[in-house]
Structure 1
Amino acid sequence: MAILTLNAGSSSLKVSLWEEGRRRLAAQVERLGSDARLSVEYGDDSMSRDIGQADQAQALDAVLSELPDTRIEAVGHRIVHGGPDRTEPERLTEEVLRDLARLSPFAPLHQPHNLAGLRAARAAFPEALQVGCYDTAFHRGHPWVNDTFALPRRFYDEGVRRYGFHGLSYDFVTTLLARDYPDLHAGRVIVAHLGNGASTCAIREGRSIGSSMGFSALDGLPMGTRCGQIDPGVLLYLMDQKAMQPAEISRLLYKESGLKGLSGLSSDMRSLLASDAPEAAEAVSYFTFRLAREIGAMAAVLGGIDGLVFTGGIGENAAPVRAQALETLAFLGLELDPGANAANAREIHAGPVPILRIETDEESVIARACARILTSSG
Structure 2
Amino acid sequence: MAMTASRSDFLVLVLNCGSSSIKFAVFDASGDPLPRTPLWNGKVQGIGGPTPDFGETGVEPYRIELDAAHPYRSALTVIRQRVLARLDGRPLGAIAHRVVHGGSKYFRPIRVDGGILADLESYIPLAPLHQPFALEAIAILLNERPGLPQIACFDTGFHHTVPQVEQILPLPFDAWQRGLRRYGFHGLSYEYMATALAERHGDAARGRTIVAHLGSGASLCAMRNLESAATTMGFSALEGLMMGTRTGSLDPGAILYLMEIEKLSLEQVGRILYHQSGLLGVSGISPEPRVIVRHEQDEGETGERARIALDLYVRRIVKEIGALTAVLGGLDMLIFTAGVGEHNAFIRERICRDLAFLGVALDEPANTADAPVISAQDSTVLIGIEPTNEEWVAARHAVRLLQAQ
TM > 0.5 fold call: yes
Q: Structure 2: which amino acid aligns with 1:161?
A: R
State which drifts further: 270-279 or 27-36.
270-279
CA distance in 2: counterparts of 1:293 and 1:226, whole angstroms:
17
Structure 2 match to 1:12: 21
Contact 2:13–2:24 (Cα < 8 Å) also in 1: yes
Cα distance in 2 for partners of 1:252, 1:104 equals 18
Instruction: Give me the whole-angstrom Cα distance separating, in 2, the residues matched to 1:11 and 1:142.
Output: 32
Structure 1: which amino acid aligns with 2:39? R
Q: Deviations over 1:291-332 (max 9, x none)?
A: 111111110111111101100100000000011111121221
Counterpart in the other structure of 2:128: 108
The answer (yes or no) to whether the contact 1:347–1:354 under 8 Å persists in 2 is yes
The residue number in structure 2 matching 1:298 is: 324
Q: How far 1:105 sits from its partner (Å)?
A: 1.4
**Alpha-carbon distance in structure 2 between the residues aligned to 1:185 and 1:136:** 22
2:76 is the alignment partner of 1:48: no
* Partner in structure 1 of residue 360 of structure 2: 334
Please, which moves more after superposition, 69-78 or 338-347?
A: 69-78
Question: How far, CA to CA, are the matches of 2:81 and 2:307 in structure 1?
Answer: 43
Q: Which of residues 362, 371, 374 is equivalent to 2:390? A: 362
Provide the residue aligned with 1:27 in structure 2: 42
Q: Could you tell which deviates more after superposition, 364-373 or 18-27?
A: 18-27
- Give, as a single letter, the amino acid of the residue that structure 2 aligns with 1:32: I
> What number of residue pairs does the alignment pair up?
374
Query: Does 2:370 match 1:344?
Result: yes
State the alpha-carbon separation in 2 of the partners of residues 303 and 97 from structure 1: 41
CA contact (8 A) 2:25 2:40 kept: yes
Radius of gyration: which is bigger? Answer: 2
Q: 1:252 aligns with which of 272, 279, 288?
A: 272
Moved more, 183-192 or 363-372: 183-192
Q: How far apart in 2 are the matches of 1:259 and 1:14? A: 24
Q: Is the 8 A contact 2:96 2:394 kept in 1?
A: yes
Q: Distance in 1 between matches of 2:309 and 2:65?
A: 33
Cα distance 1:292–1:74, how it changes in 2: closer, same or farther (>3 A)? Answer: same
1:192-271 equivalent positions in 2, closer than 5 A: 192-271=212-291
Please tell me whether the aligned partners of residues 8 and 56 of structure 1 are also in contact (alpha carbons under 8 angstroms).
no
AA at the equivalent of 1:25: W
Q: Supply the AA of the counterpart residue of 2:169.
A: F
Partner Cα distance (1:374, 1:335) in 2: 45
Give 1:121 shift. 3.0
Per the TM alignment, residue 125 of structure 1 is displaced from its structure 2 partner at its CA by 3.4
8 Å Cα contact 1:87/1:137 also seen in 2: yes
Q: 1:86 aligns with which of 106, 115, 119?
A: 106
Q: In structure 1, the residue corresponding to 2:374 is in which secondary structure?
A: coil
- Which one of 179, 182, 191 corresponds to residue 159 of structure 1? 179
Instruction: Tell me, yes or no, if structure 1 residue 61 matches structure 2 residue 73.
Output: no
SS of the residue corresponding to residue 39 of structure 1 reads strand
TM-score (norm 2): 0.90
Asked whether the 8 Å contact 1:72–1:125 carries over to 2, the reply is no
Give the superposition deviation at 1:123: 4.1
Give the Å deviation of 1:256. Answer: 0.5
Distance 1:175 1:47 in 2: 32
State how far apart, in whole Å, the 1-side matches of 2:165 and 2:53 are. 44
1:127 corresponds to which of 138, 143, 147 = 147
Distance 1:375 1:232 in 2: 46
Quote how far apart the aligned CAs of 1:124 are. 4.7
SS state of the match for residue 73, structure 1? Answer: strand
The runs of 5 or more residues in structure 2 that have no matched partner are: 1-9
- Give the 5 Å matches for 1:133-152: 133-152=153-172
Alpha-carbon shift at residue 30 of structure 1 (Å): 1.2
The answer to whether the Cα contact below 8 Å between 2:117 and 2:139 also exists between their aligned partners in 1 is no
What is the rounded CA distance, in whole Å, between the counterparts of 1:373 and 1:160 in structure 2?
Answer: 29
